[in-house]
Structure 1
Amino acid sequence: MDLYISPLFRLILVATFIFHDSCSSDKAGYYSFLKDATSAPTLSHFDYIIIGGGTAGSALAATLSQNATVLVLERGGSPYDNPAATDIGNFANTLINITDLNSWSQLFISEDGVFNTRARVLGGGTVLNAGFYSRAEDEFVEAAYEWVEKKLVFEPQIKGWQTAFIDGLLEAGVTPYNGFTYEHIYGTKVGGTIFDRDGHRHTAADLLEYANPNTIVVYLHASVHKILFTTKGNSRPKAYGVIFQDANGVFHTAELTVQDARSEVILSAGAIASPQLLMLSGVGPAAHLAVHGVNPIILDHPMVGQGMGDNPMHPVFIPSPKPVEVSLVQVVGIPNFASYIEGGSGLSLSISLTRTFFNGVLDLLNKLKFPSQSISKLLKSLDLGLNVTTQAGVIIQKVSGPLSRGHLELRNTNPDDNPSVTFNYYQDPEDLNNCVKGLSAIINVIDSKGYSSYKYPGVNGRGLLNLILALPINLRPRHITSTFDLKQYCMDTTMTIYHYHGGCQVGKVVDNDYKVLGIDALRVIDASTFLKSPGTNPQATIMMLGRYMGQKILREREAF
């Protein structure tokens, strides 16, 4: 497809993907226990088998390895394989390269018509996000944050654009100013970042430095197909191993240590893959599993895949009359309503990568037999004839919660394919009210005196909202009316901030110790267990959860 991308669109697309980045480190080859799955034996035994080496899985594995043998099965590659990707200025490249099966990012499109991605790399979403680090609200468990922060987190350098953003937030009433803090506090604050002073990213994979190299093995490019269960007599099903496939198509079996009754399989594959793998293994809504030929059905568990939530995001792009620094999310406004306000500046994206992304979108739509006429029309009309440079900032809002909930279902029995996911954005009117309040606050920030030097004279926040309406940011219909309606704008321009969660929720699929209800020797420890997305960015809480539960499991092991 011969596609021209206007300068304006390139900038908006950067704003769209500001929450993703690449990862690199000088640790390539550092971990002797990182191996390709092709080197795995046909059969192996471990005390703990962790499915997924992502944000929670890496922290969990490093902790458990202190007093047990641990196998981590990661479907993606290593973030240490591409040193050039550590540059903060290259953050969008990893996300856009979705057509490469070895890329760290996998595109999926929800049934709501919103583009989204899944991490496919050791370290998970910490390899792809904007780096912002902030603890959760007080009602979440607070433990082990310091263990994470000592290894990964830095205080950002606040420069001109971010300073003006702070001033604008305060003038717009998002007060008080709380300075630099990891805590979740009402008002405006500077949070932590997992980018160091040289602009290099640090990820959850770095937490494996804490691991005992003699008791842990991490297999990369290991795609888990099924969890194995014993179902003798009328006893409860018990997990005893997994089957996984390497990059050459060869299947391997890993089993729990036979003589150790404390051994467990732990799902840390994320909010998409964890419920999907439970279903593929025979744990889920029985009627739905039967339709897809899943056999045997281990346990009719109707809540698996339910309660899926995704925080809607809405960006406002602001062309600047003067240079802006390259910055990802460093500052957040936490008002007294359920919406968070964040921003970044000075980022760019190549035309070729934009083409690659939308070619990948069209390929996926064709594969799913998704009606693609609407996006095809938009792609053909991208040249808006506007001359805007990459000298710009973007302010976004994230609707907290959300209260709106959806579900996940199997599309087929291939674990590498995306399941069908519906989030039901703005089904609950309170989410919609918070979107309107958040966008109104952003308009006030843009129109503030404190922010005035970073926008052109005569430009106002309300007018800048219109820039998004003509762009193919999603597959949802546009409702153009004579009277501008912020509620309709929210529904039409829904995007994701990539903080989706649910599908294996606490109290519904797992208990308070994250053990799967009705099954022995199986836990789920990742964002699929969340009832809501914690804090302004969940990565701190997810890493903390992996560490916290690892310590708790070891204590249980010692007391067994």
Structure 2
Amino acid sequence: MTIISCIFRNILVAILILSGSCYCDKAGHYTFMKDATLAPKHARFDYIIIGGGTAGCALAATLSQNASVLVLERGGSPYDNPTASDIGNFANTLFNNTPNSWSQHFISEDGVYNTRPRVLGGGSVINGGFYTRAGDDYVDEAEWEMEEVEASYQWVEKKLVFKPQVMGWQSAFKDGLLEAGEFPDNGFTYDHIYGTKIGGTIFDHAGHRHTAANLLEYADPEAIVVYLHAYVHKILFTTKGSQKPKAYEVIFEDANGMFHKAELANNAMNEVILSAGAMGSPQLLMLSGVGPAAHLAAHGVNPLVLDHPMVGHEIADNPMNVVFIPSPQPVEVSLIQTVGITKFDSYIEGGSGLSLSFDLTRRFFDGVLNLFNETSRTTSRNILTHSIEVLLKSLDLGLDVMINGGLIVQKIDGPASKGHMELRNTDPRDNPSVTFNYYQEPEDLNKCVKGLNTVIQTINSKAFSKYKYPGVTARELLNLMLGLPINLRTRHVTSTFNLTQFCIDTVMSIWHYHGGCQVGRVVDKNYKVIGIDSLRVIDGSTFLKSPGTNPQATVMMLGR
């Protein structure tokens, strides 16, 4: 290559970086993004990031400015099917659980359905898109530098975040929350503050999703490689020249079953960084010999690198309870835009007009026509059953169906109830076993009851009345949820309705699980794994509790 061509190439790279563009092919894919089958048998990098999710993409883009970076992502690319992440396909993409889908489903030992992301961009590719920062008290407790936090949030927001277009259903929901007492009206803000607010969204005004994968546009394309469909089996450690085990190499498998090795360059500053999420990071630590010694021995994990009893412990999932409200008039398609942040630590959120495929909708409403108990009034029962019968008849066409109505949910902050994760086997493709212990602590149940009372007041508000059938009571809408197969728990049928039991019987996940590699227990305040060199964890598994009403903003900020 001539000197002139080298100069021209370097100028072109600089222009692309400064303009926020990236090296992309005609399909819009990053040219540094490749299938793992194309990986060499052995390669060397300054940083090896395991997991290209909400934290991993932000982290990789940042580190690539001054070092060589390898990202190993077990899933595929969101750019292969960009319309699948559009707002109209949210439910179908989230609930798809085929072998190569972006969602990998699991059921906790509590009997609650849940989902792990399996795609570059992580949860930001399949979630509800709501964007809100952590509260100032959360930042203080984490001992983060406020100026750095602010700058990092802004770095994310510049690339991904939009002000939502608030239309009929969401506007009525917002006014209903205010009527229910969740004030002041804080308008549009990213801040986590008491009252009712409109948050940000990663959906643009055309309904197209912008994900953490877009943060790789910030990366230096000459310094980063992203391998897709790369399943990491273990991290290797050495004790040579060190008093503590030191991470130095990662073994991963491609889609053809071939194994590859990626090694850290010979520099004391270089690191392996786990960003595989609250399920993946503790699982991979255990598969690599770092975790509770007796548990690892029981699964034949060898050698034991470090007896680390807290790996996989203190994992939690924010419980969610949902009320579906059929609407007598058309509603817009909207995911989470409005939130009521209560002073009793329950968050009230809502969305409307979800579109579901034929199979999903038929399965969801199968048996719903038998939902009411004998105390239901005939008029309201007829209204709701007629609404559902019309919906089910439309499914006979085999088309995607928009649910004409909305969902109002309450999510528990914290929560105080904690659980644990264990290996099922040593296959990294399989989900580990996890128990979240939903509502085990009475304070979580108390928050749920208060949250549901606020939901009921919102449903009964004058502002929301046009989106609820006249004569249908909130009690009957709650009975509707008791008739739906939303988890595997046994329903407790009693003669008197009880909100506490309703919380337990209808608990769902809002997909904000966290913990398992917590700060102060598994990693230190700099996110280095305690007792091991050259290994960090940067993702939601390090959180003591979930930040804000949705954690994705803070996970991306942390990666930055």
Q: After TM superposition, give the deviation of residue 383 of structure 1 in Å.
A: 5.5
Q: Percent identity?
A: 73
Q: How does 1:161-240 map to 2 (within 5 A)?
A: 161-232=169-240, 235-240=243-248
Q: After TM superposition, give the deviation of residue 353 of structure 1 in Å.
A: 3.9
2:415 counterpart (402, 418, 422): 402
Q: After TM superposition, give the deviation of residue 329 of structure 1 in Å.
A: 0.5
Deviating more after overlay: 503-512 vs 463-472:
463-472
* Contact 1:49–1:266 under 8 Å retained in 2: yes
Offset from partner CA, 1:177-199 (integer Å, 9 cap, x none): 00000000100000000000100
* Contact 1:96–1:354 under 8 Å retained in 2: no
User: Tell me, what secondary structure is at the counterpart of 2:320?
Assistant: strand
Offset from partner CA, 1:356-408 (integer Å, 9 cap, x none): x89xxxxxxxxxxxxxxxxxxx97x4554933243111110111100000000
User: Tell me, what secondary structure is at the counterpart of 1:387?
Assistant: helix
1:324 partnered with 2:354: no
**2:340 corresponds to:** 333
Cα distance in structure 2, aligned partners of 1:339 and 1:206: 32
**2:378 corresponds to:** none
Q: After TM superposition, give the deviation of residue 234 of structure 1 in Å.
A: 7.5
Q: Which runs of 5+ in 1 are unaligned?
A: 1-24, 359-377, 548-560
Cα distance in structure 1, aligned partners of 2:326 and 2:361: 20
**1:130 corresponds to:** 128
* Contact 2:29–2:79 under 8 Å retained in 1: no
1:349 counterpart (324, 342, 356): 356
**2:164 corresponds to:** 156
**1:62 corresponds to:** 61
What is the total number of aligned residue pairs between the two structures?
Answer: 500
Q: After TM superposition, give the deviation of residue 463 of structure 1 in Å.
A: 2.1
What is the TM-score when the length of structure 2 is the normalising length?
A: 0.87
**1:53 corresponds to:** 52
1:518 counterpart (526, 531, 549): 531
2:297 counterpart (290, 293, 301): 290
Change (3 A) 1:442 1:234: same
For 1:87, the aligned partner's letter is D
User: Tell me, what secondary structure is at the counterpart of 1:224?
Assistant: strand
For 2:127, the aligned partner's letter is N
**1:119 corresponds to:** 117
User: Tell me, what secondary structure is at the counterpart of 2:386?
Assistant: coil
Cα distance in structure 1, aligned partners of 2:434 and 2:28: 37
Deviating more after overlay: 211-220 vs 474-483:
474-483
Cα distance in structure 2, aligned partners of 1:238 and 1:27: 41
Q: After TM superposition, give the deviation of residue 272 of structure 1 in Å.
A: 0.2
Q: After TM superposition, give the deviation of residue 26 of structure 1 in Å.
A: 11
Offset from partner CA, 1:59-83 (integer Å, 9 cap, x none): 0000000000000000000000003
* Contact 2:49–2:274 under 8 Å retained in 1: yes
**1:312 corresponds to:** 319
* Contact 1:231–1:238 under 8 Å retained in 2: yes
* Contact 2:83–2:208 under 8 Å retained in 1: no
Q: How does 1:432-511 map to 2 (within 5 A)?
A: 432-511=445-524
Q: After TM superposition, give the deviation of residue 233 of structure 1 in Å.
A: 7.8
Offset from partner CA, 1:445-487 (integer Å, 9 cap, x none): 0001111111111122222111011111101111111111111
* Contact 1:26–1:83 under 8 Å retained in 2: no
**1:248 corresponds to:** 256
For 1:60, the aligned partner's letter is L
**1:270 corresponds to:** 277
Q: After TM superposition, give the deviation of residue 27 of structure 1 in Å.
A: 8.3
* Contact 2:547–2:554 under 8 Å retained in 1: yes
For 1:257, the aligned partner's letter is A
For 1:102, the aligned partner's letter is N
Deviating more after overlay: 482-491 vs 224-233:
224-233
Cα distance in structure 1, aligned partners of 2:317 and 2:525: 22
* Contact 1:26–1:80 under 8 Å retained in 2: no
Q: After TM superposition, give the deviation of residue 346 of structure 1 in Å.
A: 1.1
* Contact 1:97–1:353 under 8 Å retained in 2: no
**1:42 corresponds to:** 41
**RMSD of equivalent CA atoms:** 1.6
* Contact 1:63–1:211 under 8 Å retained in 2: yes
For 1:75, the aligned partner's letter is R
**1:368 corresponds to:** none
User: Tell me, what secondary structure is at the counterpart of 2:133?
Assistant: coil
**1:106 corresponds to:** 104
For 1:393, the aligned partner's letter is G
* Contact 2:85–2:125 under 8 Å retained in 1: no
Change (3 A) 1:324 1:382: closer
Cα distance in structure 2, aligned partners of 1:185 and 1:27: 44
Cα distance in structure 1, aligned partners of 2:260 and 2:28: 24
Cα distance in structure 2, aligned partners of 1:214 and 1:275: 31
Q: After TM superposition, give the deviation of residue 101 of structure 1 in Å.
A: 1.3
* Contact 2:313–2:517 under 8 Å retained in 1: yes
**1:371 corresponds to:** none
Q: Which runs of 5+ in 2 are unaligned?
A: 1-23, 372-384, 392-402
Cα distance in structure 1, aligned partners of 2:82 and 2:94: 16
